[in-house]
Structure 1
């Protein structure tokens, strides 16, 4: 398998790099995330065909987490996870933000929950409460 001239020059498409770095499971999911505005490159909105070089900074949203990574190397091939981890490094600010979010989720994990579904009496109380709020 031969590599493309773009990869030899140290330039690769944004959607391909996100897939190769294992940020998203498939290239089409990476493309959808880019089109959906969930990925920024160097602080600006990005298109799937945008060229990525070493030193660029991606800020992407996956689920509830926002991750900021600096590109260390480019690759068009998706390899094993240990090899993909060598393509980027997560910034200190991103690590601190994710740890703060985890601590906040743990803090709220003990919030009281109702014991089960509301029965007929509880439903009527809820309906009255909602009606009084609307009026």
Structure 2
């Protein structure tokens, strides 16, 4: 399975009133990782014909992160079938490899031309295997 990883540092803008990363920020990072992985792998031809919409989002908050923590974000597609794709995004504390967040999102592939759901073609599935 093809993965995409990125390391970030927690900044003051990421914190909530309790001085740990705001839960909403994790949701944004999950979405950002999905988009970055898609844009890294998809060809211009694919991008000209398809886009994804988020159908559902599940996130488990396992531990907290605070200002200055280095976080390793890792994403991969665990399943693609029909019009849907299931994506995992895990966020770890980079210094001790402790799992901070585990998420699963369900995405639907859409046709740019029709603005309707469309079956995921093999050319897209193989980009993320």
Which has a greater percent of helix? 1
Greater relative contact order (CA < 8 Å, ≥ 6 in sequence): 2
TM-score (structure 2 length as normaliser): 0.29
Structure with higher Rg: it is 1
- The TM-score normalised by the length of structure 1 is 0.28
